[in-house]
Amino acid sequence: RPLYDALFDMMGAENFNRCHERGDIEVAPLAYMRGRTLDDSFIILDEAQNTTQEQMKMFLTRLGFNSKIVVTGDITQIDLPDGKKSGLKQAVSILKNIDGIETVQLTAKDVVRHRLVSDIIKAYEKDGQRNGRKG
């Protein structure tokens, strides 16, 4: 529900529901993207750290004409089963030098939640550095 919560906060529930009913906004599971081309669209993939490499490739190749894709995720919060590699981590690594693709890495300074959340993130980052892990 985080995506719905954000859309409700930005648009108001009534306006969102109206746009959704008209088909101006579509919310769909990743599995429903296969075989589609999304022209004239603004596409958001949320929680992308939990995509597999195959899922990420499939999603990114749905990009159609006059469209933009925004992918969000936190590589310190990967919940994939053992042996599965994050599609987000791979995409950031292999696509970073492609013209027209930009990446932004947020830090604890960018947190817009309770002030303690920033301190919690810093503590985990410090522990990760001490133990040879990232975050």
Residues 100, 124: one domain?
A: no
Strand partners, 44: 70
Residues 113, 61: one domain?
A: no
Average pLDDT over all residues of the chain: 92
Give, rounded to a whole angstrom, the gap between the first and last alpha carbons of the chain: 25
Q: pLDDT per residue over 78-93, tens digit each? A: 999 998 999 999 999 9
Distances (CA, A) of 24 to 12, 27, 52, 64, 114: 15, 10, 28, 16, 33
Residues 50, 72: one domain?
A: yes
Residue 134 has pLDDT above 70, yes or no: no
Residue 107 has pLDDT above 90, yes or no: no
Residues 131, 69: one domain?
A: no
| Burial of residue 132 (number of CB atoms within 10 Å: 0-12, 13-18, 19+) | exposed
Residues 17, 80: one domain?
A: yes
Q: pLDDT per residue over 29-72, tens digit each? A: 999 999 999 999 999 999 999 999 999 999 999 999 999 999 99
Find the CATH number of the domain harbouring 7: 3.40.50.300
**Domain count along the chain:** 2
Domain hosting 119: range is: 105-135
Residues 56, 74: one domain?
A: yes
Give the mean model confidence (pLDDT) for residues 16-29: 94
pTM given for the model: 0.82
In this structure, what are the phi and psi dihedrals at residue 18, rounded to the nearest 5 degrees? -65, -45
Residue 106 has pLDDT above 80, yes or no: yes
Q: What pLDDT is attached to residue 133?
A: 65
- Cα dihedral 4, 72, 36, 10 in deg (nearest 10): 30
